[in-house]
């Protein structure tokens, strides 16, 4: 069965650079979630989209933005990168919202040097 | 505020049982349970909804006390593959709990 695809798997950037992470949800899934997991931390919800509209917002810095496109894939754009942005970024998708199972991608490991 | 889990860590021998608890100070209308192995993505285990509906794996059971805003995950006859960090998450945007690290030893 198709899973959530994230790219790239690994990304190395320098401070003040920008990064774009991509997420391709499971086919027919209309909801995408982004999470950030720092070393030894639990995943923190960043933002979610339902039917291409932002549906909820968590602890996402103003330097970050995201959108969901017409084909339901989503991109997380991160600017003015800081050392503290180094983390695993997970995308999850679900069919519908609230009571539906979220399936996670393998994550993108971002290292900011 | 994130849900609080207990215990924070537990070590079991293969075949033993474990209970992981999750408590929230905010209203819960659904509870999700995930297991995460180091460096890997969280994997869905169970979702519990208000009214008693559950969706999840056959070998895992859980309870959800809506009034107390608490949930418990029951792992019976644990296997080595059960090792990992267990997270409960509340509601849609999955405010993950503090995590419980489970280690199964032969």
Question: Which pLDDT tens digit goes with each residue over B53-64?
Answer: 777 776 788 999
Q: Smallest Cα–Cα separation from A35: which of A95, A107, A96?
A: A107
CA distance B62 to B39: 25
Q: Which range among A16-20, A65-69, B68-72 shows the weakest confidence by mean pLDDT? A: B68-72
pLDDT at A97: 66
CA distance A15 to A33: 25
Put the strands of the sheet holding A74-78 in their side by side order. A5-7, A19-24, A74-78, A64-68
Confidence of residue A68 (pLDDT cuts 50, 70, 90): very high
Task: Find the closest chain B residue to A96 by CA distance.
Answer: B92
B 72-91 residues with CB below 8 A of A? 87, 91
Mean pLDDT of B69-94: 87
The residue with tokens 């215990």 is: B7
CA distance A73 to A49: 10
Confidence of residue B104 (pLDDT cuts 50, 70, 90): very high
Mean pLDDT of A61-90: 97
Task: Find the closest chain B residue to A57 by CA distance.
Answer: B93
C-alpha distance from A88 to closest chain B C-alpha (Å): 8
pLDDT at B38: 87
CA distance B86 to B61: 14
Helix (H, G, I), strand (E, B) or coil at B3: coil
Residue B27, classified by CB atoms within 10 Å of its CB into exposed (0-12), middle (13-18) or buried (19+), is exposed
Mean pLDDT value across chain B: 87
Confidence of residue B106 (pLDDT cuts 50, 70, 90): very high
Provide the b/e sequence for B84-103 (b: ≥16 CB within 10 Å). bbbbbbbbbbbbbbebbebe
**What digits encode the pLDDT tens for the residues A15-48?**
999 999 999 999 999 999 999 999 888 888 899 9
Q: Do the chains contact at B92 and A98, CB–CB below 8 Å?
A: yes
């Amino acid at each position: 069965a198709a899973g959530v695809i994230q790219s790239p798997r690994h990304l190395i950037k320098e401070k003040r650079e920008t990064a774009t992470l991509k997420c391709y949800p499971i086919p027919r899934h209309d909801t995408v979630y982004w999470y950030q997991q720092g070393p030894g931390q639990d995943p923190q919800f960043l933002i979610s989209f339902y039917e291409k509209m932002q549906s909820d917002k968590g602890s996402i810095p103003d330097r970050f933005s995201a959108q969901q496109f017409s084909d339901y894939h989503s991109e997380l754009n991160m600017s003015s990168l800081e050392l503290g942005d180094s983390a695993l970024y997970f995308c999850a998708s679900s069919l519908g919202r609230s009571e539906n199972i979220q399936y996670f991608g393998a994550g993108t490991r971002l290292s900011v040097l | 505020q994130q849900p609080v889990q207990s215990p924070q860590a537990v070590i079991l021998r293969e075949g033993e049982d474990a209970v992981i608890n999750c408590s929230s100070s905010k209203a819960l209308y659904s509870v999700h349970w995930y297991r995460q192995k180091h460096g890997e993505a969280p994997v869905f285990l169970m979702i519990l909804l208000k009214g008693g509906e559950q969706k999840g794996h056959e070998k895992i059971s859980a309870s959800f006390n809506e009034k107390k805003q608490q949930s418990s995950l029951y792992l019976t006859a644990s296997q080595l593959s059960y090792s990992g960090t267990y997270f409960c998450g509340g509601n849609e945007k999955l405010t993950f709990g503090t995590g419980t690290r489970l280690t199964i030893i032969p």
